[in-house]
Structure 1
Amino acid sequence: MSSVDHIEALKAKHASLEQAINQEVKRPHPDDDVVCSLKKRKLQIKDEINRLSSPTSH
Structure 2
Amino acid sequence: MSLKERMDSLKSKHAFLDTQLHQEGLRPSPSAEEIGRLKREKLKIKDEIARLDGNGGSATIH
TM-score band by shorter chain is: over 0.9
**Percent identity for Structure 1 against Structure 2:** 44
Output one character per residue of 1:12-42: Cα deviation in whole Å (capped at 9) or x when no partner. Answer: 0000000000000110000000000000000
Could you say what the CA RMSD is over the residues aligned between the two structures, in angstroms?
A: 1.4
TM-score of the two chains, using structure 1 as the length reference? 0.92
2:11 aligned partner, one-letter code: K
Answer with 1 or 2: which has the greater Rg: 1
Runs of 4 or more, structure 1, over 2 Å off, are none
Between Structure 1 and Structure 2, how many residues are aligned?
56
Which runs of no fewer than 5 residues in structure 2 stay unpaired?
56-62
Partner SS state of residue 30, structure 1: coil
Compute the TM-score of the two structures, normalised by the length of structure 2. Answer: 0.86
RCO higher in structure (CA 8 A, sep ≥6): 1
